[in-house]
Amino acid sequence: MMRDMTKGAPLGHLFLYAVPLLLGNWLQLAYNAVDSIIAGRFIGQDALAAEGVAGPVMNLVILAISGLCIGAGVLMSEAFGAKRTARLKETLATTLLFGAALCCAAAALGCALTPWVLRALAVPDSIFGITGIYLRITFLGAPFTFFYNALAAGLKSVGDSKT
C-alpha cells in the first residue's frame, strides 16, 4: 500500500511506518537467540562455535547488502516523492539486476575463498570443516538476502513498511 507521507501529520506517519520495522527487528533478534540456543543445545558445541566464528563474516555480507539496498531505497524514495514513476521502476530494475550480478559473483568468490578466510581467522582444525559449510551456505544465500532487502527497500521507499 503506497502512502503519501508528504500530507498530514509527520509524527503519525513516522509512527505507522516505524512500528512494523521495529517489530521485524525484534523478531530477527529473537530468531538469532533461538538459533544460538538450538545450535548449542541440540546440534553441539562445535556447531555453536562454527556459528560464532562465521558470524562476523556473515554480518559483513549482510551489512554490505543492506547498505546497497538502503542507498537504492533513497533513490527510489526520491523518485516516488517527485512522482516520477518511470524513474522509480527503472531504479528498482537496475538495483535488482546489478545486485543479482554482484551477489552471484560474491557468492561464487566467497565459496571459492572460504578456506582462505578460515585460515585468516585462525579457525581451529576441530571446527574448520563445519565452519566452512556454514560460511558457504551464507555466501550462497547472499543473492536471496539481496532480493529480499532490495524488494523491501522498494516497498519502504513508497511508504509501505508493513508488507
Prediction pTM value:
0.75
pLDDT tens sequence across 34-74: 877 887 777 788 888 888 888 888 888 888 998 999 899 99
Delimit the domains of the chain by residue range.
50-157
Q: Quick one: 100 exposed, middle or buried, by C-beta within 10 A (0-12, 13-18, 19+)?
A: middle
Give first-to-last CA distance, the chain, whole Å: 8
pLDDT value at 108 more than 80 = yes
